């Protein structure tokens, strides 16, 4: 089983060996082009894509049963997904479903409160105070919408 830090290099080397573009390799693996590009840059794929990539690299199914050995999660949902993977009481489908729910809940609830970023294309026509007021208005709208969703 390769170390997770080596995955990007292994994918790149295998693509070169096969003479494939990122798009062709992603199609062979059964994942999106963007996921494969991020993996080659060192990002951690989700467990399903990790398994697909390892199969494409030639690792056998028994190797995959151990799970991602040296995964170093970079976010809270990834850390939870990693722990779910290690739980022998969960099926692959249960792990995937729980991880999806956690990721969705985390994305909806873990945003820093009171921080709305505003990028204005016509920034030169806005005074700094106008941008600040717009950000405050958008923050109030977001807070109101969150309040409506919880009732």
Residue 112 has a pLDDT of: 61
Token pair listed for 96:
């995937």
Lowest mean pLDDT among 10-19, 78-87, 116-125: 116-125
CB-neighbour burial class of residue 39 (10 A; exposed 0-12, middle 13-18, buried 19+): buried
The four Cα atoms 25, 48, 67, 39 give a dihedral, to 10 degrees, of: 40
Lowest mean pLDDT among 4-8, 102-106, 111-115: 111-115
**What is the pTM for the complete model shown?**
0.44
H-only helix segments in the chain: 7-18, 22-29, 33-40, 47-57, 61-65, 76-86, 92-109, 128-149
**For residue 62, what pLDDT band results from cuts at 50, 70 and 90?**
very low
Measured in whole angstroms, the distance separating CA 97 from the mean position of its chain's CA atoms is 15
């Amino acid at each position: 089983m390769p170390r997770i830090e080596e995955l990007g290099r292994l994918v790149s080397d295998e693509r070169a060996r096969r003479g494939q573009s990122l798009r062709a390799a992603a199609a062979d693996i059964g994942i999106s082009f963007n996921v494969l590009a991020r993996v080659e840059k060192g990002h951690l794929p989700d467990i399903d894509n990790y398994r697909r990539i390892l199969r494409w690299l030639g690792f056998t199914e028994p190797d995959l049963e151990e799970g991602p050995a040296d995964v170093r999660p970079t976010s809270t949902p990834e850390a939870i997904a990693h722990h779910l993977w290690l739980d022998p009481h969960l099926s692959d489908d249960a792990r995937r479903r729980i991880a999806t729910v956690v990721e969705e809940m985390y994305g909806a609830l873990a945003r820093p409160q009171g921080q709305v970023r505003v990028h204005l294309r016509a920034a030169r026509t806005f005074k700094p105070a106008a941008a600040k007021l717009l950000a405050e208005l958008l923050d109030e709208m977001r807070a109101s919408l969150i309040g409506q969703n919880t009732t």
